[in-house]
Amino acid sequence: MKRIYFDNAATTSLDQEVLDEMLPYLTEKFGNPSSIYSYGRESRLGIENARKSVAKILGANPGEIFFTSGGTESTNTAILAAIRDLGCRHIISSPIEHHATLHTVEYFHKAEGIRLSHVKLLPNGHVDLEDLRQLLASAPEKTLVTLMHANNEIGNLLDMQAVGNLCKEFDAIFHSDTVQTVGHYPFDLRHTHVHFINGAGHKFHGPKGVGILYINENLKITPFIQGGSQERNMRAGTENLYGIVGFAKALELATKEHEAHSNHINAVRMYMAEQLQKQIPGVTFNGDLFGRSLYTVLNASFPKTEKSEMILFNMDIAGICVSGGSACTSGADIGSHVIGAINPDPNRVAVRFSFSKYNTKEEVDEVIAKLKELL
């Protein structure tokens, strides 16, 4: 059966060029990067060249880039460091963050008594910057602001420059979960007031199990994981050598082809939105689809019926991969916390379609035809 994959916000397929770059490090270049002989030096060189490449693309210094296991570890490291090393006793976040952030800030709120505030959201799901200003202005403690750059379920984009400027004005620490945007948008970290960002290779056709944490060079923090001197004493454990090499290659390819791919993906996304509006009665969209929005994500809302409640299951049977929200909760019988925060209508069913450079308008036509049949 032919399969159509419209869940690229959950994970993407590995690019063949990325696999080709990784293969030597899976075979003959297998040395431990901490070893001093030639095999080890060869592996170390692969890691450091990858670090330089990532830093150059993101507009950072190589010393500010640390390789991790992915977005969740990077987020945990940043939040812990802000509390333990940078003196933050107050956290401002939002109710629609990824659970990697939400669960972490809730843990520190309960376990260590860190004060936790949630910024208000506008009706379209964007952060209310005026409320953020008021929360910062009224906070007597050192504050960490942790807000995601692009929401993984509805696609809304945060104005990072505006939030960064507010954090600068009130001397707050700023962490942004950029897992959905590293590899999809250009960054210039030297000219962005942000202290931590994170990325995950599998969101832009790189390997799973590898990510980055950017730590601004002016911060002095201690490790999250103890036990070794890897990553300049900041992240113990033998490095994911081929994952790191693959991450850098995937980011390089994504950057080189950004304009063409982003235009193509957005055209597919907006074509699907247009066809849904034309052909599916009662459809609406969650988030700011026609405004400041991630070009890979389309979150559609359908009237709740017996048929629409079974939509994900029946589309899977038809070979169509979509999601009801974040992949991290797709197996749980609970509604999306994001949709619950911005559009808590029990009479609607939300479906997230997310696209990659490999998707086509012809696939959209096939999915629309199946939706008409199912609904």
189 shares a domain with 278? no
> What is the domain-level CATH number for residue 355?
3.90.1150.10
Predicted local confidence at residue 332, as pLDDT: 46
What is the number of domains present in the chain?
A: 2
| DSSP secondary structure code for residue 288 in this structure | -
Query: Kind and range of the H or E element at 281?
Result: none
| Strand 297-303 with 65-68, pairing | unpaired
Residues 225 and 350 both lie in one domain: no
**Which parts of the chain have pLDDT scores under 50?**
332
* Residue ending a domain, choose from 256, 289, 309: 256
pLDDT at 325: 60
Do 209 and 335 fall within a single domain? no
Instruction: Enter the DSSP assignment of 115.
Output: E
Instruction: Assess whether 8 and 34 both reside in one domain.
Output: no
Report the C-alpha gap between 25 and 42 in whole angstroms.
Answer: 10
Q: What is the mean pLDDT of the chain?
A: 96
User: Which residues are catalytic, by number?
Assistant: 328
Tell me the residue range of the domain where 48 lies.
16-256
Question: Do 250 and 180 sit in the same domain of this protein?
Answer: yes
99 and 240 assigned to the same domain: yes
pLDDT recorded at residue 118:
98
Say if pTM beats, i.e. exceeds, 0.85. yes
Using only C-alpha atoms, what is the Rg of the chain? Answer: 21
Of 256, 271, 305, the domain-final residue: 256
Length of the chain counted residue by residue: 375
Do 112 and 195 reside in the same domain of the chain?
A: yes
If asked whether residues 171 and 27 sit together in one domain, one would say: yes
Among 228, 256, 284, which residue terminates a domain? Answer: 256
Does one domain contain both 102 and 250? yes
Same domain membership, residue 243 and residue 324: no
Residues 295 and 228 in one domain: no
Asked whether residue 266 falls in the same domain as residue 239, the answer is no
Nearest-CA neighbor of 46 among 20, 68, 22? 22
The CATH number of the domain where 137 resides is what? 3.40.640.10
